[in-house]
């Protein structure tokens, strides 16, 4: 009689394994983060993110069309603005003719069905590299929220489908919802970075946008730990996500990804909205570096990590692997 139960029966071959597979991936599970820079016909590889580029709007549009044809249906866009446009107010962030606003318009014009989720945070526009306005040596929460509302409304006016606040200011989701509704953008959604941890995994991203905190001639926080979350905490992430849902978030995000899958599952169990997970730049860079040295099989570890993020509860995965993974999935 022993053993009565044989789990291996369901692992006998790939056909059986595919029949009982609990989690699947498709290109529509991915969102592609894209970096946009000034100029025309500009494409500059980011040294710490092999295969990822800062592109001018014309080349960004070309890439968007390619990934849409692969089945990817969402992009999360970021801009690298000129130093002479940065200050402590972030006012370039809501310039109707700014780089972000031009990019949104161009993408939606060229590929109307692509869902565009622009980043809402002031760090690309700040002379201090922080996600908000510096007052009295710290990031001023409520003054920053007022600036973020102007930024989000300008994104909606340009054609954004969702706004994606990554700043971690208290109460910003409610302020954004109120601001968007007052401006008539009731159908523009909010994908909130609800559980965004103060993580060392963001290094390559900050290289891409020059958005790390900077030395200054005034007192400024040396890091982002007064607003991004302590990575020792779990219950706090659930609380933050629930608050954002109460304030009107249509989706919530956990960031980073692989090192935080316990948080993904906790948040998934707690909320009744889709959960997005950001498979961040440092996680991407580690796989690239290890595979270049022959220590890991690039495609196998890429797909395993993406599957694990989905299994943990992600409805959508923002990942720099989106295009590569979509190509592989389309070949099967």
φ/ψ (deg, to 5) at 274: -60, 145
Of the candidates 68, 170, 176, 158, the residue with the CA atom closest to the CA atom of residue 113: 68
Distance of alpha carbon 284 from alpha carbon 39, whole angstroms: 27
In the structure encoding, which two tokens stand for residue 35, read together?
A: 């970096």
Distance of alpha carbon 46 from alpha carbon 59, whole angstroms: 15
Catalytic annotation, pick one of 224, 255, 288, 310? 255
Distance of alpha carbon 117 from alpha carbon 155, whole angstroms: 9
Distance of alpha carbon 332 from alpha carbon 323, whole angstroms: 15
Q: Collapsing DSSP states into helix, strand and coil, what is residue 108?
A: helix
* Residue 42 to residues 37, 59, 116, 292, Cα–Cα distance (Å): 8, 7, 21, 26
Of the candidates 68, 83, 76, 67, the residue with the CA atom closest to the CA atom of residue 100: 76
- 95, 154 in Cβ contact below 8 A? yes
Catalytic annotation, pick one of 86, 105, 108, 196? 196
- 275, 267 in Cβ contact below 8 A? yes
Distance of alpha carbon 72 from alpha carbon 55, whole angstroms: 19
Any catalytic annotation for residue 196? yes
Distance of alpha carbon 74 from alpha carbon 86, whole angstroms: 28
Distance of alpha carbon 193 from alpha carbon 28, whole angstroms: 20
Any catalytic annotation for residue 255? yes
DSSP state for residue 223 in the 8-state scheme: S
In the structure encoding, which two tokens stand for residue 163, read together?
A: 């706004």
Half-sphere exposure of 318 (CA within 13 A, CB side): 28
Q: What is the DSSP string of 16-77?
A: HHHHH-S----GGGEEEEEEEESSSS-EEE-TTSTT-EEE-HHHHHHHHHHHHHTT--EEEE
92 known ligand binder: no
Which parts are annotated binding residues for Mg(2+)?
240
Annotated binding site, which residues?
240
Q: Return the active site residues.
A: 196, 255
């Amino acid at each position: 009689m022993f053993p009565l139960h044989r789990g291996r029966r369901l692992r006998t071959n790939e056909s059986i394994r595919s029949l009982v597979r609990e989690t699947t991936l498709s290109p529509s599970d991915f969102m592609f983060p894209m970096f946009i820079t000034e100029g025309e016909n500009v494409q500059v590889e980011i040294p710490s993110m092999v295969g990822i580029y800062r592109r001018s709007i014309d080349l960004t549009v070309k890439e968007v069309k390619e990934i849409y044809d692969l089945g990817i249906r969402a992009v999360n866009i970021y801009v690298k603005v000129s130093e002479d446009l940065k200050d402590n107010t972030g006012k370039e962030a809501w310039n109707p003719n700014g780089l972000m606003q031009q990019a949104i318009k161009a993408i939606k014009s060229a590929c109307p069905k692509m869902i565009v989720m622009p980043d809402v945070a002031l760090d690309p526009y700040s002379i201090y590299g922080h996600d908000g306005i510096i007052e009295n040596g710290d990031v001023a929460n409520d003054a920053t929220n007022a600036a973020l509302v102007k930024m989000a409304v300008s994104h909606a006016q340009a054609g954004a489908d969702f706004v994606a606040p990554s700043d971690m200011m208290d109460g910003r989701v409610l302020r954004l919802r109120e601001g968007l509704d007052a401006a008539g953008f009731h159908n523009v959604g909010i994908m909130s970075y609800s559980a965004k941890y103060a993580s060392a995994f963001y290094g390559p991203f900050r290289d891409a946008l020059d958005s790390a905190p900077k030395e200054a001639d005034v007192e400024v926080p040396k890091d982002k730990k007064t607003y991004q979350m302590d990575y020792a905490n779990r219950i706090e992430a659930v609380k933050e996500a629930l608050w954002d849902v109460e304030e009107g978030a249509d989706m919530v995000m956990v960031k980073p990804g692989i090192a935080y899958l316990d948080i993904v599952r906790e948040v998934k169990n707690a909320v009744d909205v889709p959960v997005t997970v950001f498979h961040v730049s440092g996680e991407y860079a580690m796989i690239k570096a290890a595979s270049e040295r022959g220590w890991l099989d690039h495609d196998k570890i890429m797909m395993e990590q993406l599957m694990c993020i989905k299994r943990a509860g992600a409805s959508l995965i923002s990942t720099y692997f989106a295009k590569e993974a979509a190509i592989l999935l389309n070949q099967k």
